[in-house]
Amino acid sequence: MTDVELSRELCDFIAQSPSMFHTVASISRRLDEAGFTRLAEGNAWELERGGSYYVVRNGSSLIAFKVGSNLAPDAPFQMAAAHSDSPTFKVKQVAELEGPADTLRLNVEGYGGMLDAMWFDRPLGIAGRVVVRTDDHRLESRLVASGGPVALIPNVAIHQNREANKGFAYNHQVDLCPLFSAGELTAGSFEQLVAQMAGVAPECVLGRDLYLVNLTAPQVWGWKEEFVSSPKLDDLQCVFAVLKAFVEAVNNASITVFGCFDNEEVGSRSRQGALSTFLREALQRVSAALGRTDEEHLRAIARSFLVSCDNAHAVHPNHPELFDAQNRARMNGGVVIKEAASGTYTTDALGRAVFTALCQEAGVPVQTFANRSDSRGGSTLGNLSNTQVSVHAVDVGLAQLAMHSSYETAGIKDTGYLMRALAAFYAAPLNIDEGEAISCVW
């Protein structure tokens, strides 16, 4: 498959994933097609060596794993993880704002640290999940999506805001309320739309998690088709690459794991976030179902490794001064290893060395990213998940422009680079020994 073909498949995956709930549903379908067995946290787990399984929490986080057919009692977990959510706006429970001039607007609040200006004057859909009461008095979660555009956040014309091009501080309660109707709809219409999407009467919708979706189509572009632009590249580009590498890789000596966690953009502090017990409990249950003792499980954890995958900042063509002169990444330049003295990235010398060696064997170029020493960067799920499951780890990503915009840009070669790097990682029989000196062989 060429880089362009792979990027178009990525675009299709993103288009099928308008919310974190849809992302996990898309992943689940791919795993089902690959022969994985779905488990439930509320049921007993019966696992077999050579088997492939996955479990979902909250409909928005997922952990999948493949059990090697020739496992030692303390064989490690080889894990890679990304996140399902992206900055957007969540629709409040009382959703409608009436007026002025017969308009109907939506009452929304920011989810994550988005670039506000990029949400104006774009076709917006609604997507997420609703919980409905069915005819047999059960509560059922259903995915919903408007499909086409149903809202838009209009800019104020330059004639009414002459200072707009000099910078403007947007107020989410005032400036970022989407227009929903200009007189054709009346109060209560939003509830009717949601019920219609869910296939029930409005009074049967008892709860909802709904978000705005930028419906600008993902696309490959450029004179030489070298770029891909789309909503949610952070972090669905990594999700897509990790998933494909995970499904295709074979490793009979380890338990390979793919994690996709929700709520990274708001701190991961939820029952389905990287700071939750989800990963820890899943790994414990895998070991227990395979007959491992507590001692063997802890030995396995000590030998395990996590690749935390979350996109990185590409050097900006108009503002290179914002980046460290030596530790900066470019699009189509390879997988980026991210490091920070603050510990916001989990990379250390061992993690960097293990991943770099695997990339060298796979023929994948590696780049380095560190923030300027006088600026503060973000964090990822790697260091957060390590508070629950302490393993050797590295933070990596793919270089992109306009992170946290509603429409982001990356290079078409880098998705394939990450897939190849992770395919090598998943297939390598890692053996990390923390005896008198740390060593790692495969």
Residues 110-120 pLDDT 10s: 999 999 999 99
Q: How confident is the model at residue 31 (pLDDT cuts 50, 70, 90)?
A: very high
pLDDT of 10 > 90? The answer is yes
Mean pLDDT, residues 294-323: 95
Give the CATH class of 88-214: mainly beta
Strand-pairing partners, residue 77, are 255
Mean pLDDT of the chain: 94
What's the pLDDT at 163? 83
pLDDT tens-place string over residues 175-218: 999 999 998 988 899 999 999 999 999 999 999 999 999 999 99
Number of residues in the chain: 442
Task: Give the N- to C-terminal CA distance of the chain in Å, as an integer.
Answer: 28
| Fold of domain 3-86+231-441 | Aminopeptidase (3.40.630)
What's the pLDDT at 87? 97
Identity of the amino acid at 82: A
Q: Which two tokens stand for residue 85?
A: 């959510």
**Ranked by mean pLDDT, which of 26-35, 261-270, 379-388 comes out on top?**
26-35
> What are the boundaries of each domain within the chain?
3-86+231-441, 88-214
Picking from 77-81, 165-169, 359-363, which range would have the lowest pLDDT averaged per residue?
Answer: 165-169
Cα angle 324-80-24, degrees, rounded to a multiple of 5: 110
Q: Which two tokens stand for residue 17?
A: 């994933």
Tell me how far apart the alpha carbons of residues 69 and 253 are, in angstroms, rounded to a whole number. Answer: 7
What's the pLDDT at 166? 84
Tell me how far apart the alpha carbons of residues 292 and 71 are, in angstroms, rounded to a whole number. Answer: 11
The DSSP secondary-structure symbol of 217 reads: P
pLDDT tens-place string over residues 336-356: 999 988 888 999 999 999 999
pLDDT tens-place string over residues 134-160: 988 899 999 999 989 999 999 999 998
What's the pLDDT at 377? 75
pLDDT tens-place string over residues 266-291: 988 899 989 899 999 999 999 999 99
What's the pLDDT at 193? 95
Q: With 0.75 as the threshold, say if the pTM is over it.
A: yes
